[in-house]
A and B are shown apart, each in its own frame.
Chain A
Amino acid sequence: MEISVNGEKRQIDVAPDMPLLWVLRDELGIMGPKYGCGIAQCGACTVHVDGMAVRSCQLAIGDLAEGEVTTIEGLGTPDALHAVQEAWIEEQVAQCGYCQSGQIMQAASLLDEDPAPSDEKIDAVMSGNLCRCGTYPRIRAAVKSAATKLKEA
């Protein structure tokens, strides 16, 4: 089976019901997407498929078809940060940081779909991503400052 991840074609040989998350992590060694719950309750595994935020623990690889997968590694790098990542660093959001790949991918998808989300919409969309350290106040602030950055860019 061939899939496309971060712009590269990758060959894999796994059961078709294996979730995308475990293909990325244990077959391809792409460790940005995290395993947190396995049942779409925490959002730590969030990636983009054709630009849309998706819980990769719930997408069977056999259902990916031609979908183009982008993980946080494909969103931006330490040397070439995405605006959402810049905002996350400036606001010093992360504590343990384990959920933040998913938070950032969710926020990037939100801002792509709605460049100026209301406070209520930020709360509604970002509430699917769990953070046990309690970084939420800074997530709110970082989503807003990322929106400003993207508008000015």
Chain B
Amino acid sequence: MSRAGTIARRTFLIGSAAIAGGVAFGAYMVNRPIPNPLLDDLSEGEAAITPYVKIDASGITLITPRAEMGQGAVALQANLIAEELDIDPASATLSPGMPGRAYYNAATLEEGAAPGYDDSTSTQITRYMFGKVAKLIGLQITGGSSTTPDSFTKLRTAGAVARETLKEAAAQRTGVNRSQLKTKDGHVILPNGNEIAYTTLAAEAAQIDPVEDVTLRDPSTWRFLGKPDMKRLDMVAKSTGTEIYGIDYKVDGMVFASVCANPAIGGDIISFDATAAKAMLGVQKIVPVSGGVGVIASNTWYAIQAANAIECVWGPGAYPESSDKMWEVLETAIDNEDFFNDRMRDDGDAAVALETDDIIEAEYRVPYLAHAPMEPLNAIVLVTDTKCEIWSGVQAPLWTRDKAAALTGLDPENVHVYVQQMGGSFGHRVEIKNVEQAVEIAMAVKGTPVKMTWSREEDMTQEFPRPPAIARGRGKVSNGQVDTLDLSVSQAAVIPPWLERNSGIAMPGPDPSIGHGSWDQPFTIPNYRVTTYRVPDMVPVSTWRSVGASGNGFMHDTFMDELIHAAGADPLAERVRLCFDETSRKVIEEVGKISGWDGPSLGENRGRGVAFCMSFGVPVAQVVEVTNTTNGIKIDKAFIVADVGTVLDPKNAEAQLFGGMIYGLGHAINSELTYENYAAQQDNYHANEGLRLFQTPEFEVKILENGHHIRGLGEPGVPPAAAALGNAIFAATGQRIREMPFHKHISFV
């Protein structure tokens, strides 16, 4: 029997259910039943529960449905549960669980609803409604820097309910009132000091009503959360070569495969000649797949060699054939009413203010960018007449399941997705073309598991990249202050085509991501207007770490910096003056303090720049110091200040911030994807490397806790980085760089 109880204060409830030899604690959905993912573990009538904690005689399992891509999500989720459950998280077995709609992520949509500083009633209602939509469509996804806000209350509550229910089981066994019992390290402690292990109480706990009325512990009593020594749980494995990523996973009897697909993304294959490939050592089978050809072999290397040896005749792409032609499309769309997307900011009267001769104008460009995580995309798939099993590192496991069901003709409940550890993602693994190809190959050898691995070249040229964008700024200064900031942005849509391609859900209306990182910044400027233009879809694009803010963070803040310099104001002081959000203002002030800011000049050939961007609700300010050496720009030092409301994992949070900034700096300096004859021209790291160690500055990071909401940090470190660097280069050299990658305009050492 499931025991949902009657408490309806929260939008979710934590309940309990019996499992073989033990008990599971997890969430009940209140408004509508959602199919349960652990069908194999829970018996008839108990399908309403979605477990976060499972305890049986053999031990404790914590279920962490947000996937690990490197951002520390698994350790965070485990520590949230463990903090209330009173166990050492390192002593528990960790499992991603099976994908389930009940593991829906409300925060990822809630954060897109409105700027992070906006807590008005209407915004709270909007966030609530967006969260409901996530629940309705069962959006189990890892992304949008949302794991922390989504999990913070949910997982601690799961831990607390489990703890109190175990205490109640001990109370009923011993006759001691529950209020007299304590817990420690996986045991209930009796007043006489005797200990009862949770594992021995599990079966009894399954037979009683769960204790649902729990009070979460005050943060001042936390033992793990927020502590400087809170460690990630994957460090030993990742430092000894024993972490198993998707590309490392083994299934008995598996064969190896690779693919070559049309470099014109989405284009057809007209014909192919695999004569030479078939004759190559180790090759077992040639399998046509959608838009390409797969090779099955006895070793991944044989498969990649053979895939490269297939002669293919490709159909054309459904987009302009070269970068030059794509830029023409972006140029046509900007400030063209036919391509209007939205105008989310229109303060004062920018049009009237700009009817003057002393306008400051600038145009900015950001290119297509590959995600290029270190682990090339891969998937192991086994297809039989009755089921399909998939082992792969994916951010959206339910969409993966549904795609495989459609390809195989199996019911979705007979498709099982086992989410694997990911060697990075940055948004790459919300796309599942690699899994679809692996399913197609596995369907040709039913009963045999196939491990399909993309070559690095295939991974980089089959990218759904970050789209390019153009921004035009027009502005005016008066009396030493910024008076008018009018920004137009033209870019292809990201969210609607991504959602439709992967889930089949059509998203009407404008794409809010085109403007993220621009109109939603917490500044008061007398005349402040941001207009976005949606260009027609070209190369299919996707979410790239920090999405719209990745480009706008550079273009919006750089233009603001240009206006501030034109006004003769101090770049840091003027940003502080313009900022209306107290939490954000303190972030800018603090980066001034830790960097010893006293103006943009640092002496001859040296300079520093400051930049600010709020994304995913997190205000981040960064200062970069550079030296203009005889051989080029050297980045000396970087300072980062962010506010996340409450820091749960300080050491990891710091790493996410400097890692995000390094990601932003590396792409700003070194990276782009360009296209000729429909194909991406950069196919490996020699042509697209991001930042290497020798270009990496020293870092100083400080995280504040003034904000009213708890936030995640996987992405917000990225957006201000390029602007801070460009602003510093201007301070050191007088040269303003308005286009990425910067190395096209200035040398770096």
Q: Report which A residues bind B (CB closer than 8 A).
A: 14-15, 18-19, 21-22, 25-27, 29, 31-39, 41-42, 44, 71-73, 76-78, 81, 85, 88-89, 92-101, 104, 122-124, 126-127, 129-140
CB within 8 Å for A34 and B301 given contacts A97-B243, A124-B694, A130-B685: no
Question: Which residues B288-344 have CB closer than 8 A to chain A?
Answer: 298-302, 304
**Interface contact B235-A96, CB-CB below 8 Å:** no
How far does the Cβ of A46 sit from chain B's closest Cβ, in whole Å?
Answer: 11
How far, in whole Å, are A123 and B696 apart by their CA atoms in the complex? 9
Known contacts A22-B299, A94-B232; 15 further A-B pairs (Cβ under 8 A): A14-B299, A18-B299, A18-B302, A19-B301, A37-B684, A38-B684, A95-B655, A96-B69, A97-B234, A97-B237, A98-B423, A126-B693, A129-B693, A133-B424, A136-B692
Question: Which residues B231-269 have CB closer than 8 A to chain A?
Answer: 231-232, 234-245, 247-248, 250, 256
**Interface contact A78-B237, CB-CB below 8 Å:** yes
Residue of B nearest to A72 (CB): B241
**Interface contact A88-B239, CB-CB below 8 Å:** yes
How far does the Cβ of A137 sit from chain B's closest Cβ, in whole Å?
Answer: 5
How far, in whole Å, are A72 and B456 apart by their CA atoms in the complex? 22
CB within 8 Å for A94 and B235 given contacts A35-B247, A37-B685: yes
Task: Please indicate the chain B residues that have their CB under 8 angstroms from the CB of A139 in the complex.
Answer: 693
**Interface contact A32-B655, CB-CB below 8 Å:** no
Task: Please indicate the chain B residues that have their CB under 8 angstroms from the CB of A99 in the complex.
Answer: 374, 423
Which residue from B282, B375, B694 sits with its C-beta under 8 Å from A127?
Answer: B694
Instruction: Name the 8 nearest CB pairs between A and B, nearest first.
Output: A32-B241, A96-B70, A98-B423, A134-B662, A97-B238, A72-B241, A134-B659, A22-B301
Taking the complex as formed, is B376 at the interface, i.e. its CB lies under 8 A from any CB of chain A?
Answer: yes
Residue of A nearest to B697 (CB): A137
Q: Mark B408-444, 1 if CB is under 8 A from A, else 0.
A: 0000000000000011111000000000000000000
Question: Which residues B346-375 have CB closer than 8 A to chain A?
Answer: 372-375
Task: Please indicate the chain B residues that have their CB under 8 angstroms from the CB of A21 in the complex.
Answer: 301
How far, in whole Å, are A27 and B302 apart by their CA atoms in the complex? 12
Which residue from B231, B425, B686, B698 sits with its C-beta under 8 Å from A137?
Answer: B698
How far does the Cβ of B424 sit from chain A's closest Cβ, in whole Å?
Answer: 4
Ordered by A's residue number, 20 sampled pairs between the chains whose C-beta atoms are within 8 Å are A26-B256, A26-B300, A38-B684, A73-B241, A78-B240, A78-B242, A92-B231, A92-B652, A94-B235, A95-B655, A96-B375, A98-B70, A99-B423, A100-B239, A104-B239, A131-B374, A134-B659, A136-B662, A136-B692, A137-B696
Taking the complex as formed, is B661 at the interface, i.e. its CB lies under 8 A from any CB of chain A?
Answer: yes
Taking the complex as formed, is B742 at the interface, i.e. its CB lies under 8 A from any CB of chain A?
Answer: no
Task: Please indicate the chain B residues that have their CB under 8 angstroms from the CB of A29 in the complex.
Answer: 250
**Interface contact A137-B658, CB-CB below 8 Å:** yes
Question: Which residues B679-721 have CB closer than 8 A to chain A?
Answer: 684-686, 689-694, 696, 698-699
Q: Report which B residues bind A (CB closer than 8 A).
A: 69-72, 231-232, 234-245, 247-248, 250, 256, 281-282, 298-302, 304, 372-376, 422-426, 453, 455-456, 651-652, 655-656, 658-663, 666, 684-686, 689-694, 696, 698-699
Task: Please indicate the chain B residues that have their CB under 8 angstroms from the CB of A25 in the complex.
Answer: 248, 300
Which residue from B250, B422, B689 sits with its C-beta under 8 Å from A96?
Answer: B422
**Interface contact B651-A92, CB-CB below 8 Å:** yes
How far, in whole Å, are A124 and B695 apart by their CA atoms in the complex? 10
CB within 8 Å for A136 and B374 given contacts A39-B686, A98-B245: no
Which residue from A41, A42, A101, A123 sits with its C-beta under 8 Å from B693?
Answer: A123
How far does the Cβ of B141 sit from chain A's closest Cβ, in whole Å?
Answer: 18
CB within 8 Å for A27 and B689 given contacts A36-B374, A137-B696: no
Which residue from B70, B241, B666, B684 sits with its C-beta under 8 Å from A31?
Answer: B241
**Interface contact B299-A41, CB-CB below 8 Å:** no
Residue of A nearest to B247 (CB): A35
Residue of A nearest to B70 (CB): A96
How far, in whole Å, are A71 and B434 apart by their CA atoms in the complex? 29
Residue of A nearest to B699 (CB): A137
Residue of A nearest to B68 (CB): A96
How far, in whole Å, are A131 and B281 apart by their CA atoms in the complex? 33
Residue of A nearest to B242 (CB): A78
How far, in whole Å, are A32 and B689 apart by their CA atoms in the complex? 22
CB within 8 Å for A26 and B234 given contacts A41-B686, A96-B373, A100-B239: no
Task: Please indicate the chain B residues that have their CB under 8 angstroms from the CB of A98 in the complex.
Answer: 70, 245, 373-375, 423-424
How far, in whole Å, are A3 and B742 apart by their CA atoms in the complex? 47
Residue among B241, B298, B690 having the largest count of chain A Cβ atoms under 10 Å: B241
Task: Please indicate the chain B residues that have their CB under 8 angstroms from the CB of A22 in the complex.
Answer: 299-301
How far, in whole Å, are A74 and B33 apart by their CA atoms in the complex? 51
How far does the Cβ of A84 sit from chain B's closest Cβ, in whole Å?
Answer: 9
CB within 8 Å for A34 and B375 given contacts A26-B300, A92-B655: yes
How far, in whole Å, are A44 and B690 apart by their CA atoms in the complex? 15
Residue of B nearest to A71 (CB): B241
How far, in whole Å, are A123 and B693 apart by their CA atoms in the complex? 6
CB within 8 Å for A85 and B686 given contacts A92-B651, A95-B659, A134-B661: no
CB within 8 Å for A35 and B376 given contacts A76-B240, A98-B245, A101-B241: yes
Residue of B nearest to A80 (CB): B240
Residue of B nearest to A76 (CB): B240
Task: Please indicate the chain B residues that have their CB under 8 angstroms from the CB of A136 in the complex.
Answer: 662, 691-693, 696
